[in-house]
Structure 1
Amino acid sequence: MPDTLFKSKRALKVAMVAGEASGDLLAAHLMDALLARYPDIEFAGIGGPRMEARGFVSHAPQSRLAVMGYAEVLKRLPELLRIRRTLRDRLIAEKPDVFIGIDAPDFNLDLEAALKRAGIPTVHYVSPSVWAWRPERVQKIGRSVSHMLCLFPMEPPLYRQAGVPVTYVGHPLASEIPLRPDQSAMREQLGLPQRAPVFTLMPGSRIGELEHMAPLYIETAKLLLKSYPDAQFLVPLATRPTMELFDRMLTRCKGWDLPLRKLFGHAQMAMIASDAVLVTSGTATLEVALTKKPMVISYKLSALTYRLVKRKIRLPYVGLPNILCGRFVVPELLQKQATPAKLAAEMQRLYEDQDARREMVQTFTELHQSLRQDTAALAAEAVLQVAGRQ
């Protein structure tokens, strides 16, 4: 890492850390809104390609922070601590006008606490899931952040009750995705038959997820093909490493003869074109809901990580659509329940049960409307207030 993160002494200096692809996207939208107000802002810290395309200077690879599960984090802990310690010391020395931690709470909150003690205002963008597990974190968050930016409407009351300044900004995907996506036009664009069953498989955006989920989804696709011989399968993958890993899984599972098309990115296109989606739990489940597609949520963790997490979960569901609606709108098949036979049966039920599909789509439409805010502008306004520029 170079001796200085920022070049100018006069420009507004904003430090940021975004730990994975979803944070890179959130940060990029926020940067656009901030640059519209202050075109000479300097951004530095740790970020991804979308941030770098907007002038962000990243001083460590974002990919080094994207780690899944307790067991996996322990293996990489010395490196993660070294990256955080080095960045902390640089920022305390240079004193940016504001630091913004984009999600990644395990990395960012301790960093934010140290910066706040050093007199640097801190904003955390995306509340940790305190409503689902480890609610005691609200107190630690209050000691770490000057302001919290929340994506979901049930979060601000929890912070206000604890005396933490907070702003509800909505979810940026709700503004990007149309309320009524056009399936027919998307199938035409992708060269898919209009009447054939189309299933999208989303085994995850991280290597660790893919290793657990890809074989399961490939075997599920084989079973669906037996029920629907004219079915088509779409698999959007976010990076070259995940595409290469999925290819290896196809070979291992002898799935090369499946009528399956991999897409490099273009996840929303795959969702919109499909009849139903099989998706690994995470942010992608909200994206599927916003495209109004029936889905089955699945997830598998290492046995050690699952035992540790299960003890702390407060809610009976893990998928964001279910959490936001406060009930089981979407079926969830996790750990031992996640078998090819059970996943294929649920996907088949959703494809054939028109009443269930209509009810799910109506619920997703109402959810979409509740999350639709001018997210980036609201977040930028809060950041500038914290930085003393409003």
Structure 2
Amino acid sequence: MKFYIIAGERSGDLHGSNLIKALKQQQPNAEIRCWGGDAMEKAGGELVTHYREMAYMGFWEVFKHLGTIRKKITYCKEDILAFKPDAIILIDYAGFNLRIAQFAKAHDIPVHYYISPKVWAWNQKRALKIKRNVDYMYVILPFEKEFYKRFDFEVDYVGNPLLDAIRDFKPSESFAFKAQDVIAVLPGSRQQEVEHMLDNLHKVTQKFPEEHFVVAGVKNLDKSLYTKVENQKNVNLVFEETYDLLSYAKAALVTSGTATLETALFNVPQVVVYKTGKISYAIAKNVVKVKFISLVNLILQKEAVKELIQEKFTLENLVVELKAILPNGNKRDQVLKDYKVLKDLMGDENTSQKTADLIISRINHNL
């Protein structure tokens, strides 16, 4: 079998790599071309384009790079036709992947979409476009199945791939800070996120001189982005050790994204922060249709973890909210109770294997 898989960011690379492993377990000789990252390549995919070439964040930032994105889409279409896959597997990344889905449908290539775009957050009528161009949708958030039912589109809830990744993870005995009482700082995985976040995140560490903060860096970004926090006495920087850090942390400051759910699944109380460019935020404020931005709160449909967004993301607010989730803080116990409800809602599926089984059985059925 031949698969063409497209992921456009770091989390998609992680989930794509686990899906590749599951596909190859059943189809050891499968040919897989992919847009993704190091994890997908290591799992056995032939990497066409790395996600770091496509990681634009926010409406305005995407607009500025439309020319580059269009060239990538054209190249992707040509590469798909040359490869002739049995199926295309799209992983989130709506702006790019929905265009590829439409193209694939027009060329009679089966489209499997793993991890739905967040169409429930804004422009919900895009669900109709998905229904037209996607043959099979595999969703990872419990409420998404009901959302798509409103558009008469039956989708599969396959659990959440983070459960697989965390279940398989074993903390490293050599992790430098395992014996210390640390607060994790997760500033994001894209350059714009890190630039926006570290200004306030590095200031808050100065307000807690008795605490030890560890910042989770990522290697695909220039190390110079982290210089603001490197030379502080109570701050350390690690790279590519986020799960080790969350295994030992007592609290966390987290940029909104997949990391908020990962932090909850590691049972670490957190404050969620987010800041983007003024133009992008103004546009988003007018179109986004959900009450919360963190996955934890979206799944629970309540503000279980505090969200400090844009103008609320201030040093003063960070100090107050961090104190509230530290041991003996007035919000800590409730956060941990809400995490238990969250885990019950998500279930305990082997998500990557279940998705791979469904994809392969449907390809075989249509042969």
Q: CA deviation at 1:328?
A: 0.7
Q: CA deviation at 1:186?
A: 8.1
What is the RMSD computed on CA atoms of the aligned residues?
2.2
1:323 pairs with one of 291, 298, 313: 298
Are the aligned partners of 1:210 and 1:242 in contact in 2 as well (CA < 8 Å)?
no
CA shift digits 1:26-49 (9 cap, x unpaired): 111111111111111000131211
Q: TM-score, normalised by structure 2?
A: 0.93
Displaced runs of 4+ in structure 1, greater than 3 A?
Answer: 185-194, 352-355
Q: CA deviation at 1:354?
A: 4.8
The percentage of counterpart residues that share the same residue type is 29
Bigger radius of gyration among the two: 1
Are the aligned partners of 2:8 and 2:54 in contact in 1 as well (CA < 8 Å)?
yes
Q: In the alignment, is residue 356 of structure 1 matched against residue 331 of structure 2?
A: yes
Q: Which residue of 1 aligns with 2:352?
A: 376
SS at match of 1:173: helix
Q: CA deviation at 1:79?
A: 1.2
Letter in 1 for 2:183: F
Alignment CA distance shift 1:128-1:214 (3 Å): same
CA shift digits 1:49-93 (9 cap, x unpaired): 111113311222321111111111122211111111121123234
Question: 2: distance between equivalents of 1:122 and 1:389?
Answer: 15
Q: Which residue of 1 aligns with 2:197?
A: 213
SS at match of 1:388: helix
Structure 2 alignment gaps of length 5 or more: none
Alignment CA distance shift 1:297-1:370 (3 Å): same
Question: 2: distance between equivalents of 1:170 and 1:32?
Answer: 17
Q: Which residue of 2 aligns with 1:285?
A: 260
Letter in 2 for 1:234: V
Alignment CA distance shift 1:187-1:310 (3 Å): farther
Alignment CA distance shift 1:165-1:85 (3 Å): farther
Q: Which residue of 1 aligns with 2:215?
A: 235
Q: TM-score, normalised by structure 1?
A: 0.88
Q: Which residue of 2 aligns with 1:53?
A: 42
Q: CA deviation at 1:355?
A: 5.6
Q: In the alignment, is residue 103 of structure 1 matched against residue 92 of structure 2?
A: yes
2:176 pairs with one of 190, 195, 206: 190
Question: 2: distance between equivalents of 1:176 and 1:99?
Answer: 23
Aligned residues: 365
Question: 1: distance between equivalents of 2:216 and 2:104?
Answer: 38
CA shift digits 1:144-169 (9 cap, x unpaired): 21111100111112223323341111
Are the aligned partners of 1:299 and 1:338 in contact in 2 as well (CA < 8 Å)?
yes
Question: 1: distance between equivalents of 2:196 and 2:254?
Answer: 13
Alignment CA distance shift 1:165-1:120 (3 Å): farther
Q: In the alignment, is residue 156 of structure 1 matched against residue 163 of structure 2?
A: no
Are the aligned partners of 1:205 and 1:242 in contact in 2 as well (CA < 8 Å)?
no
Structure 1 alignment gaps of length 5 or more: 1-11
Letter in 1 for 2:286: R
Counterpart mapping for 1:1-390 below 5 A:
12-177=1-166, 189-191=175-177, 196=181, 198-225=182-209, 229=210, 231-247=211-227, 249-250=228-229, 256-354=231-329, 356-371=331-346, 372-388=348-364
SS at match of 2:123: coil
Letter in 2 for 1:239: K
Q: CA deviation at 1:132?
A: 2.3
Question: 2: distance between equivalents of 1:86 and 1:122?
Answer: 18
Letter in 2 for 1:104: Y
SS at match of 1:201: strand
Alignment CA distance shift 1:144-1:221 (3 Å): same
Question: 2: distance between equivalents of 1:93 and 1:187?
Answer: 46
Alignment CA distance shift 1:107-1:51 (3 Å): same
Letter in 1 for 2:344: Q
Question: 2: distance between equivalents of 1:366 and 1:207?
Answer: 33
